[in-house]
Amino acid sequence: MIFRETSESMDPLDMAEQIAINHQWVHERSDDYKLVIGRPGLWTSYAVLVEDEEDRLRFKCAFEFTCPDFAEFELYRLLNMLNGSISPGALWYAKDGACIEYRTDLDFSDMRPISSEEIELCIEAMMATLEQFYPCVQSVAAINTDELGGDNRGLTAEEALGQTIPPARGRS
């Protein structure tokens, strides 16, 4: 097991597991290096994978998604556009796993202490990003049919960007 200094005298993966327990999220610790968390969202359920690597915590947050062949080109165009607006990390279509993933890392090669707040913020930010982009990703792969002869295709990447939900700002 890799153990780094933390601000809470816990291994970072143990901290991530404790966050899952505190929020009553479904989770499974497969070994000393991996934690899988199930999170409900507004649009769908998400799986969060936290992996402890030598100098970083690797995060992957994903939702199930199968893209029809006719929409793959537009999906990749859309993901490239979306990736230009997010940092750190990137959106990824895992065709073999039938999912959209948001991947990012918390780099600790500088040996600074890790806090559970950082880990929780990373998980929450990943969830918010996928929730924001879920409608536009789905709209690229949607099959439009109507009685008047729909063209049976999803939206283009540019059209799909209009389906993005902007992040909330301010207070009500």
For 104-126, write each residue's pLDDT tens digit: 998 877 777 778 999 999 999 99
Which string of b and e fits 132-157 if b means at least 16 CB within 10 Å?
Answer: bbbebbbbbbeeeeeeeeeeeebbeb
Could you tell me the pTM of the whole model? 0.82
Domains along the chain with CATH numbers: 12-161 (3.30.1460.70)
For 112-166, write each residue's pLDDT tens digit: 777 899 999 999 999 999 999 999 999 998 765 454 445 557 888 888 888 777 6
Q: Classify burial at 56, counting beta carbons within 10 Å of its beta carbon; exposed 0-12, middle 13-18, buried 19 or more.
A: middle
C-alpha span between 69 and 75 (Å, rounded): 10
The DSSP-derived string for 6-17 is BTTSS-HHHHHH
Look at residue 78 and give its three-state secondary structure. helix
